[in-house]
C-alpha cells in the first residue's frame, strides 16, 4: 500500500500572508489525518516563508500518523529535526532562496556529507530519505550513504505526462528498479496530481509513500479538503 502524506506548506503560506492564525495549520494537519491522510509532511525553509520552525515543534505532539520533515541539512535544520524526532527526514538540496525544490542530490559528489547526515539521523531513530532525480546511478550511490529510502523528484514526469506519459515514466521505472535492487524503499513527490498520480502508481506499484502538497491544496479550494484527500487516496488504491 502506498501512503499519502499531505504537505501542508501551502496552508502555512496562506496564514502567513495576513498574519494571525487563519487558517490554523495545526487544525488543518489534524483534519488531514481525520480525512484519511496517512502522513503529514512539512518543509521548513530558513526564511520561514511558509512552515515555521515553531510549527514543527507544535505539530509533533498532536500528530497520530507519520511525520515527515523535508529540508536541506544545514545546522539549524539538523538541530530542529534532532529535537523533534519525526518518523522520517527527507534530505533535499534546495538553496536558501529557491521558490521550490528543483533538483535532487548528486549522491556521488555529496556522498561523504550525506553519509554523515544519515548516520546522525539513524542514530537518533529517524528514518532517512534522500531526494534524488530519476537516475539509477544516483539511487545506487544513495544506498551507500546509509539512507533507508529515496524520494524520486517527479517534476519531469509531471511536465511530460500529457505529451507522452510512457516516455515520461520510463526513467522513473528504471530508477525505481534500481532502488529495489539495492534494497531501498521508495517515495515520490513534486507536481503529482489527480491527473497523473494513478498512472505513476500503476507503473511503480511498490511505492511506499507519495508526498503531495501544492496540487492537493489547490484542488481543495474547489472540492473541499475531505473530498480531495479521498480522491487522492482513490488514485493510490490497489
Tell which residue, 19, 32, 174, 155, has the closest CA to residue 94: 155
- Residues 6+ away with beta carbon under 8 Å from 230: 35, 36
Q: What is the DSSP string of 94-154?
A: --TT-SS------TTTTHHHHHHHHHHHHHTT-EEEEEE-S-HHHHHHHHHTT-SEEEEE-
Q: Which of 33, 38, 70, 151 is catalytic?
A: 70
Active-site annotation holds for 97: no
Please state whether beta strands 66-71 and 3-7 pair in parallel, antiparallel, or not at all (unpaired).
Answer: unpaired
Q: Which of 33, 38, 50, 190 is catalytic?
A: 190
Active-site annotation holds for 209: no
Active-site annotation holds for 151: no
- CA dist 147 and 185 (Å) reads 9
Burial class (CB in 10 A: 0-12, 13-18, 19+), 135: buried
Q: Which of 43, 50, 151, 209 is catalytic?
A: 43
Q: From the DSSP assignment, how many helices (H) and strands (E) are in the chain?
A: 11, 8
Place of cell 539521523: 121
Tell me 59's DSSP state: H
Active site residues: 43, 70, 190
Amino acid at each position: 500500500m502506498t501512503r499519502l502524506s499531505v504537505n501542508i506548506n501551502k496552508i502555512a503560506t496562506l496564514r502567513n500572508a495576513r498574519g494571525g492564525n487563519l487558517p490554523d495549520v495545526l487544525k488543518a494537519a489534524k483534519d488531514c489525518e481525520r480525512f484519511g491522510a496517512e502522513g503529514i509532511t512539512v518543509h521548513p525553509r530558513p526564511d520561514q516563508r511558509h512552515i515555521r520552525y515553531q510549527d514543527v515543534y507544535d505539530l509533533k505532539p498532536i500528530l497520530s500518523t507519520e511525520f515527515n520533515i523535508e529540508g536541506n541539512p544545514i545546522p539549524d535544520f539538523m538541530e530542529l529535526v534532532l529535537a523533534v524526532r519525526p518518523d522520517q527526514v527527507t534530505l533535499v538540496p534546495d538553496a536558501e532562496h529557491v521558490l521550490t525544490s528543483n533538483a535532487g542530490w548528486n549522491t556521488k559528489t555529496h556522498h561523504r556529507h550525506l553519509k554523515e547526515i544519515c548516520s546522525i539521523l539513524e542514530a537518533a531513530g529517524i528514518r532517512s530519505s534522500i531526494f534524488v532525480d530519476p537516475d539509477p546511478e544516483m539511487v545506487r550511490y544513495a544506498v551507500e550513504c546509509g539512507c533507508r529510502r529515496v524520494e524520486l523528484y517527479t517534476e519531469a514526469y509531471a511536465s511530460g505526462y500529457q505529451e507522452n506519459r510512457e516516455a515520461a515514466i520510463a526513467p522513473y521505472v528504471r530508477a525505481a528498479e534500481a532502488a529495489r535492487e539495492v534494497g531501498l524503499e521508495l517515495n515520490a513527490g513534486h507536481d503529482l496530481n489527480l491527473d497523473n498520480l494513478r498512472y505513476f502508481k500503476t507503473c511503480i506499484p511498490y511505492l511506499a509513500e507519495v508526498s503531495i502538497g501544492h496540487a492537493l491544496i489547490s484542488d481543495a479550494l474547489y472540492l473541499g479538503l475531505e473530498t480531495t484527500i479521498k480522491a487522492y487516496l482513490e488514485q493510490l488504491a490497489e
